[in-house]
Amino acid sequence: MRISFFAATAMLMMPSAGVLAAAETVPVTFQAIPQIMTEFDTAAEYRKKAVTYGRLAHKVELGQLFPTYIAGSDGRPKLETENIVTDQVVIARNPEPVSGAVYNEWLVPKDKWQATYGEVPMFDTFMPFKRIKTIKAIPITDDVLTLLGSKNGETAVIAVDWNTKGMTVYKDGFLADGGYGIAPDEMQKTYELVD
């Protein structure tokens, strides 16, 4: 009798595991939310004040998974996304490490890099580039997080072009009109208001 009870309990628990897996956060396309998009009409304009380093991929990197790290709440590197390196991307890097020798590096399609920085890198070693393109950005407030379907009031996951799992955005960070989020510390360190 006791074995039947445990077996029944285990069977009851199995479906809940499936429900938890199905309940994972689905990225939200913020561009489809009118209340958010109208905020961009009067949003402040920013330019990246820090240089961004860029390079072409090394041949051995092509086809490989490329991790992007950000600073976690504990100050240690936290995996943000992973994407596949192709010959159609530039590998971008912020000048300052996230922590120790770990840098915030990400992939940018060459055409977007060209439009943002004016020229595509010619080599597979990092070179500095100054951003020429400006962005409009709105603060991620409690109301914005609610519209984005935040489950904890601190973060939400937005849909982005480069990763089907989306991108985590943070309270007090920013949503950019280019379809991505900027973490609060990243905004403070690397962007400036355009006069």
pLDDT at residue 140, rounded to an integer: 97
Residues 154-176 pLDDT 10s:
999 999 987 888 999 999 999 99
Q: Is the pLDDT of residue 15 over 70?
A: no
Q: Is the pLDDT of residue 58 over 90?
A: yes
Torsion angle of the four alpha carbons 55, 60, 63, 65, in this order, in degrees rounded to the nearest 10: -80
Q: What is the pTM of this model?
A: 0.65
Residues 77-110 pLDDT 10s:
989 889 999 999 999 999 989 889 999 999 999 9
Exposure of 105 by Cβ count < 10 A (0-12 exposed, 13-18 middle, 19+ buried)? middle
Q: How far apart are CA 132 and CA 168, in angstroms?
A: 26
